Chains A and B, each alone.
Chain A
Amino acid sequence: MTAHADVSTHAISRARWHWSEFAFWILALFCAFLFPSRYLIMTDIVRLALFALSLDLILGYAGIVSLGHAAFFGVGAYSAGLLALHGVVTEPVVALIVAGIVAMALGFLTSFLVIRGVDLTRLMVTLGIALLLEALAERFSNITGGTDGLQGIEMQPILGLFAFDMFGKVGFFYCLAVLFGLFLLARRIVHSPFGLSLRAIRNNPLRAAAIGIPVNKRLIAIYTLAAFYAGIAGALFTQTTALASLDVFSFERSADLMLVLVIGGTGYLYGGLIGAVVFRMLQEFFSNLTPQYWQFWIGLVLVVIVLVGRQRLHRWALWAPNLIIRQLGGRKTIVAVPESDAP
């Protein structure tokens, strides 16, 4: 009984909003006013953050390693593009949701393939699905525009009120609002009993099944949800850039996404958001350094991160902030606890 009470108080206390989280979102909003000339790259970061959040749901919370998450991003991107191009759904927010649902349907169908087999089979199947979709998109070039991509997409104003401007200001606030909304939903989900059961599955599927958690059903549910998120991220990509090309499915996109999440840390939702900021800045820095060969340095960062060890790296990164917080708020407060450091 006491153990039960302990677990629930612990879960409830972790679900409560920490003041540093408020600070994070206020800072994110302030960025819009601090850097008015950098809307395009900030929009890019927000999109990437949403995409990484989607991968975090399955990788950080359910432990599914996916090499082909770009599949859902691509489906979302093309759905939004086709909806706008043919004037089926012209209102961006509705189109966004429709595109998300299309990706979600694909996620639901493919989740049955993913829950079968071990890590290696999952890697192969997810990678295979993304490549398959890329081949399909290339094959049906009369619909998708082939290697040229979808062109001539014109976006209507959001909710009929806010028209997209050429500086990307509206696009940025639109993406940020979507990200915040979906983040709230994800936060609610991962702190619910459902989210806790997912963590149990990640830690030990066999034991989770033994205490009565329907492992496969839960995995299908979270995979479908993650596909929805990725679809929305893809749709945002199309809507804000008015472009959808074959590279939305590319392997590099899935691999970069993993790097984003690894930089930020998995399993506490903010990892994807922080990782997106750091990754995009690194990419900017490297492409200023060597415009053509920035991939080399990104690869080097990956290798170093793995060799040093992801957990050790996060402890180092959080050492200074944690120290300050402890000074201010007493011994027990901790800013952020990524991955396995969490009890």
Chain B
Amino acid sequence: MTTLFTILFDGVAYGMLLFVLACGLAVTLGLMNFVNLAHGAFAMTGGYVCAVLVNQSGWPFFAALPLAFVASALIGVVLERSLYRHLYHRSHLDQVLFSVGLVFMSVAAVDYIMGSSRIFIKLPAALEGQIDFFGVGIGRYRLMIIAICGLLTAALQLVLARTRFGSRLRAAVDDPRAASGLGINVPQVFAFTFAFGCGLAGLGGALSAEILGLDPYFPLKFMIYFLIVVTVGGSSSITGPFLASLLLGIGDVAGKYYVPKMGPFVIYTIMIVILIWRPNGLFGRTAAR
């Protein structure tokens, strides 16, 4: 029974982390219909920025996290303005090729600058070890992840549903022409959203170094996971990807615990079955228009 709770807890933490990593992609891929396979590269950037700040410059972990967000968001906005925006109206093939090219470049560049081995971020002592909660061992680090990611999710949902910017974004996605006719600066909204998504990915990358492992091949290794979150979750709201990440996180942790020999096999099978059953994702409408 306690193992079941531990698996559930670890799975939720893993899923929350995946959600923060992938929710930027949910906007670019799901809402703007841009196949951005390079999303993991932004996450990796955040992770490495955090690692360099903490390990080499001696910053406290919690001060480095916002910096990871800012660095990834900055790179995101520069790339969006200079490269990505030319490709919004191209075919999916072009978008795939372009983002795969970016992934290759980021992998080789990080390998060149930081070396190819896995790196670890020094955690503050308060985050290490476990808390005993009615007999269930709960990792402090995972608890922090759940807290941070839970807060972020709630904030995102509020921003999208309640604020003026949220309604602008939804309008720009639903019908860019009508939205710009109403005086909404659509490219600006897209650029800001893209940068914010990249920033979240960077934050996720910094948080995930401990759990997923951080090396130059991060964007390739976890690309499929981000894509699963978005395609399975659908894109009508932020709830779909959120539930999909939780499902994926719990499924992956449980699969690795109960049938360790099958490895990632379980996840891929579930994904293919779901996509056959509901090509537009479990929740909500299609991404393609």
Q: A: which residues have CB within 8 A of B? A: 59, 65, 67, 113, 116-121, 123-125, 127-129, 131-132, 135-136, 138-139, 251-252, 255, 258-259, 262, 292-296, 298-303, 305-307, 310
Shortest Cβ-Cβ A-B pairs, 7 listed: A302-B101, A299-B104, A117-B279, A296-B108, A299-B105, A303-B101, A306-B98
Contact of A123 among B35, B90, B111, B262 (CB under 8 A): B35
Q: Are the CB atoms of A120 and B97 closer together than 8 Å?
A: no
Q: Are the CB atoms of A300 and B264 closer together than 8 Å?
A: no
Stretch in contact with the other chain, from B62-70, B137-145, B169-177, B265-273 = B265-273
In the bound complex, residues from chain B placing their C-beta under 8 Å from that of A302 are 97-98, 100-101, 104
Contact A128-B272, Cβ < 8 Å, known A120-B231, A123-B35: yes
**Counting CB contacts under 8 A, is B162 at the interface?**
no
Contact A124-B97, Cβ < 8 Å, known A132-B268, A139-B265, A303-B83: no
Rounded to whole Å, the gap between the CB of B221 and the closest CB of chain A is: 10
Question: Which residue in chain A gives the minimum CB-CB distance to B228?
Answer: A124
Q: How many A-B residue pairs have CB under 8 A?
A: 132
Q: Are the CB atoms of B286 and A299 closer together than 8 Å?
A: no
- Of residues 254 to 289 in B, which have CB atoms within 8 Å of A's CB atoms? 261-265, 268-269, 271-272, 275-276, 279-280, 286-288
Q: Are the CB atoms of A120 and B271 closer together than 8 Å?
A: no
Contact A124-B286, Cβ < 8 Å, known A293-B112, A296-B112, A310-B94: no
**Counting CB contacts under 8 A, is B227 at the interface?**
yes
In the bound complex, residues from chain A placing their C-beta under 8 Å from that of B288 are 118-120
Contact A116-B287, Cβ < 8 Å, known A135-B264, A306-B94: no
Rounded to whole Å, the gap between the CB of B197 and the closest CB of chain A is: 17
- Of residues 87 to 134 in B, which have CB atoms within 8 Å of A's CB atoms? 87, 90, 92-94, 96-98, 100-109, 111-112
Rounded to whole Å, the gap between the CB of B125 and the closest CB of chain A is: 37
Question: Complex Cα distance A292/B110, Å?
Answer: 12
**Counting CB contacts under 8 A, is B86 at the interface?**
yes
**Counting CB contacts under 8 A, is B75 at the interface?**
no
Question: Complex Cα distance A125/B227, Å?
Answer: 11
Question: Complex Cα distance A123/B226, Å?
Answer: 13
Rounded to whole Å, the gap between the CB of A131 and the closest CB of chain B is: 5
Contact of A135 among B104, B108, B263, B272 (CB under 8 A): B263
Contact of A127 among B93, B108, B224 (CB under 8 A): B224
Q: Are the CB atoms of B86 and A307 closer together than 8 Å?
A: yes
Q: Are the CB atoms of B108 and A293 closer together than 8 Å?
A: yes
- Taking residues whose C-beta sits less than 8 angstroms from the other chain, chain B's interface range is 35 or more
Contact A118-B279, Cβ < 8 Å, known A131-B224, A292-B111: yes
Q: List 10 additional A-B contacts (Cβ < 8 Å) besides A135-B268, A299-B108.
A: A124-B275, A125-B272, A135-B262, A293-B108, A295-B107, A296-B105, A296-B107, A298-B104, A301-B101, A310-B94
In the bound complex, residues from chain B placing their C-beta under 8 Å from that of A258 are 93, 96-97, 100
Offer 28 A-B interface pairs, CB within 8 angstroms, sorted by A: A65-B96, A113-B272, A117-B279, A119-B288, A120-B288, A121-B231, A123-B35, A123-B92, A123-B227, A124-B271, A128-B271, A129-B272, A131-B268, A132-B269, A136-B265, A138-B263, A251-B220, A251-B223, A252-B220, A258-B97, A258-B100, A295-B107, A295-B108, A296-B107, A296-B109, A303-B98, A306-B87, A307-B87
In the bound complex, residues from chain B placing their C-beta under 8 Å from that of A300 are 101, 105
Rounded to whole Å, the gap between the CB of A56 and the closest CB of chain B is: 13
Contact A67-B98, Cβ < 8 Å, known A117-B279, A139-B262: no
Question: Complex Cα distance A252/B94, Å?
Answer: 17
Q: Are the CB atoms of A65 and B264 closer together than 8 Å?
A: no
Q: Mark B130-164, 1 if CB is under 8 A from A, else 0.
A: 00000000000000000000000000000000000
Question: Complex Cα distance A255/B100, Å?
Answer: 7
In the bound complex, residues from chain B placing their C-beta under 8 Å from that of A135 are 262-265, 268
Rounded to whole Å, the gap between the CB of A340 and the closest CB of chain B is: 11
In the bound complex, residues from chain B placing their C-beta under 8 Å from that of A292 are 111-112
Contact of B92 among A65, A113, A116, A117 (CB under 8 A): A65
Question: Complex Cα distance A310/B64, Å?
Answer: 41
Contact of A128 among B220, B224, B280 (CB under 8 A): B224
- Of residues 239 to 265 in B, which have CB atoms within 8 Å of A's CB atoms? 261-265
In the bound complex, residues from chain A placing their C-beta under 8 Å from that of B279 are 116-118, 121
Q: Are the CB atoms of B111 and A305 closer together than 8 Å?
A: no
Question: Complex Cα distance A302/B105, Å?
Answer: 10
Question: Complex Cα distance A255/B263, Å?
Answer: 24
Question: Complex Cα distance A65/B227, Å?
Answer: 16
Question: Complex Cα distance A292/B96, Å?
Answer: 24
Contact of B268 among A113, A118, A128, A307 (CB under 8 A): A128
Rounded to whole Å, the gap between the CB of B248 and the closest CB of chain A is: 13
Q: Are the CB atoms of A296 and B104 closer together than 8 Å?
A: yes
In the bound complex, residues from chain B placing their C-beta under 8 Å from that of A293 are 108-109, 111-112
